[in-house]
Amino acid sequence: MSEPIISVENLSKRYVLGRQRSGDGLRHALEGAVRNPLGWLKRKNGERRAKSEEIWALKDVSFEVKQGEVVGIVGRNGAGKSTLLKLLSRITEPTEGRVRLRGRVASLLEVGTGFHQELTGRENIFLNGAILGMTKVEIRRRFDEIVAFSEIEKFLDTPVKRYSSGMYVRLAFAVAAHLEPEILLVDEVLAVGDLSFQKKCLGKMGEVARGGRTVLFVSHNMDAVRTLCQRGLLIEDGKIRADGDAESVVEAYFAGLSRGFGRQQTEGYGLVIQKIVLKNDNGQETRQFRPGEDLIVEIAFDAQKCIEKPYFLIVIQSSKGNCFTANMLLDGHRPKALQGKGLIACRFKSMPLLPQRYTVRMAIKTNDGKDSVIDYEDVGSFSVTANLEDYGYKGEFRTRVSEATSVVIPYEWHLPDGTIASVALSVPVAASPK
């Protein structure tokens, strides 16, 4: 049996709040020594910080990844996902445990990772290739592909410090994906790019994986994890809570959200979202719906401080993007304040959705959108199931419904023979003569 390409054994990472710990890189160590030489010397002499100042971003994490696996890493914000990738990338050192990597690693963890601000895009392509151990000949062989994929040919000889965040991501991903690393690590930074480029990147990661290379992908986009990854890791509170096929791990993630999404207080606002459940027309908790049914998203909260004029945003997404939303800032129905325990629910009536899988995302904002109480996050998923023939779909390609757009507004065809053929997803319909 061949050795795994990634081996992680009892990996732990501890941070001291408000302090820079040793092991976070030479630049940070030198910076700390210059800014506070006395404090730096004291730490070097073994002075320990109180335990109350310490936080374990990861604790006793162990797993292995085989060559060619595509692994999605999921979990709530602050769970430890990005810390794990930074440890795998050698950006920071572990407090305990060890990592073994058997191959060249390319990572895209933050906008502009590995770029030199003063160098041009062209020069940074060669710099990154050299860091990966590639020769100039190898880099030149892939150069045109990188530039074409990034779509920034016009700005290739411009210093990257003048790039927008979107341009950074385009070039950084193109370099990371095309310079033939054995291991590709990608964080949620892809969300910076526009939707078409995100889809392009996901397609490229699939191509990389089919080429036998290994991908670790951190994302809050559960549809992308389901589609791209064979395997998933669920991280909660710095520990691996689930490790299995991508579908079961995503289900475990959503189940955890239903039991207690955001039990931690939202920083500065004291809001705890205790539970989020999906219900049907009859008020029954479910994750299976039929076209035309109502979807109720019910949110139990505990506002331990008064939050004035908050507004909720709920988005229903398919794999192709947003289907529809509910936005209190637009409809004007936000509460005057949240205080204490309570329930708030949104009922989407007669969902005109084709049989597919869907994701529910939620955000809570205040101060007319300037402040986020909770940023956008996946809070649930559901499936719509039906026999489409009952709804007037009788075409030979109806089996490809997963490739269609998700929302169907009732419509009708007026055919040359005078037939009026109607299609709707609220009630089963049939073609009728004029």
Over its length of 434 residues, how does the chain's per-residue pLDDT go in tens digits?
A: 578 999 999 999 998 865 544 455 555 555 555 556 665 555 555 544 444 568 899 999 999 999 989 999 998 777 889 899 989 988 889 999 999 999 888 887 765 566 888 999 999 899 888 877 778 898 899 899 989 988 888 999 999 888 887 788 888 888 877 877 888 888 876 655 566 777 787 788 778 878 888 999 988 777 778 888 889 999 988 999 999 999 899 888 877 766 555 444 455 788 888 888 899 988 898 888 999 899 999 999 999 889 999 999 999 998 778 899 999 988 989 899 999 999 999 999 999 999 888 989 999 998 877 788 888 888 888 889 888 877 777 777 766 777 788 888 888 888 888 888 777 776 554 444 44
Asked if 110 contacts 189 with a C-beta cutoff of 8 angstroms, the reply is: yes
Asked if 205 contacts 217 with a C-beta cutoff of 8 angstroms, the reply is: yes
**Cβ count near 54 (within 10 Å):** 15
Per the listing, tokens 């590709």 go with: 184
Delimit the CATH 3.40.50.300 region(s) of the chain: 6-10+61-252
> What is the pLDDT, as a whole number, of residue 212?
83
**Cβ count near 201 (within 10 Å):** 22
What is the DSSP secondary-structure string of 99-148? Answer: EEE-S-EEEE-STTTT--TTSBHHHHHHHHHHHTT--HHHHHHHHHHHHH
Q: What is the spatial distance between Cα 306 and Cα 329, in angstroms, rounded to a whole number? A: 19
> What is the pLDDT, as a whole number, of residue 431?
44
CB-count burial class (<10 Å; 0-12, 13-18, 19+) for 387 = exposed
CATH of domain 261-384: 2.70.50.60
Q: In Å, what is the CA distance from 101 to each residue of 23, 64, 172, 183, 310?
A: 19, 10, 22, 9, 46
Residue 239 C-alpha from the chain's centroid: 18
> What is the pLDDT, as a whole number, of residue 263?
44
> What is the pLDDT, as a whole number, of residue 258?
60
Give the β-pairing of 96-101 and 6-16. Answer: antiparallel
Strand residue runs (E) in 147-238: 183-186, 214-218, 231-236
Cα torsion through 323, 325, 330, 335, rounded to 10: 180
Q: What is the spatial distance between Cα 83 and Cα 90, in angstroms, rounded to a whole number? A: 11
> What is the pLDDT, as a whole number, of residue 49?
47
> What is the pLDDT, as a whole number, of residue 294?
93
Delimit the CATH 2.70.50.60 region(s) of the chain: 261-384
The structure tokens listed for 249 are 């791990």
Give the β-pairing of 311-318 and 54-65. Answer: unpaired
> What is the pLDDT, as a whole number, of residue 432?
43
Of 107, 89, 91, 86, the residue nearest 175 (C-alpha):
107
In CATH terms, 6-10+61-252 corresponds, of 3.90.180.10, 3.40.50.150, 1.10.1510.10, 3.40.50.300, to 3.40.50.300
Amino acid identity, position 104: R
